Amino acid sequence: MPNEAKKLIMIGGTMGIGKTTVCNTLYKTINNSVWLDGDWCWMMHPWNFSEANKKMVFENIVYLLNNYLSNDFFRVIIFSWVLHNDEIYQDLLASLQYKSVDIQKISLLANPLALRERLQQNGASATTIGHSVERLKCYKKLNTIKIDTSNLSVIDVVEEIRKICGFNNFNL
């Protein structure tokens, strides 16, 4: 495996689409993988979306991704975050120090009704639901592989991502 290119799987989607749920299952199906959720770098109280904090979060994500990419143990790095515009992808990829990495950019989508139902089940506020549904249209414009999760189970989405990334079938 040392000569095989590493994979960086970047999974984006609006709030409540299922990124965390999917990635929590996905990384467990791939040996020598690691998962970084960009939201972890925002876990602060009180939450403060200042320019200084945006810069710090971005730098922390870049630092962690570069460390995972440089570690010979990890062959697959899974990164999930909102990733709602191509500039975020461009800035992240331009900041990474990597050689021979297969990059897969995937956006998780759902129809507005399915997204609303998921967010309501998770207790999201009407404002959060509205913002998340509105942001869905951003993902349709991205230069990413799209997966409509509306009628798929978590396992179905994981299998689709594994297929896209060239992994063999698996059983959980």
Asked whether residue 28 is assigned to any structural domain, the reply reads yes
Asked whether residue 153 is assigned to any structural domain, the reply reads yes
pLDDT at 64: 97
Tally of structural domains, the chain: 1
Asked whether residue 172 is assigned to any structural domain, the reply reads no
Asked whether residue 111 is assigned to any structural domain, the reply reads yes
pLDDT at 2: 47
Query: What CATH number corresponds to the domain at position 105?
Result: 3.40.50.300
pLDDT at 43: 80
> Considering Cα of 75, then 81, then 86, then 90, what sign does the dihedral take?
negative
pLDDT at 47: 76
Give the integer Cα–Cα distance in Å for 121 and 142: 28
Dihedral pair phi/psi, residue 78, rounded to 5°? -105, 125
Amino acid symbol at 163: K
Dihedral pair phi/psi, residue 48, rounded to 5°? -135, 110
pTM to 2 decimals? 0.92
Amino acid symbol at 92: L
Query: Could you tell me the end-to-end alpha-carbon distance of the chain, in angstroms, rounded to an integer?
Result: 24
Asked whether residue 60 is assigned to any structural domain, the reply reads yes
Asked whether residue 139 is assigned to any structural domain, the reply reads yes
Q: Which domain holds residue 30?
A: 6-164
In the chain, the largest separation of any two C-alpha atoms, in whole Å, equals: 50
Asked whether residue 170 is assigned to any structural domain, the reply reads no
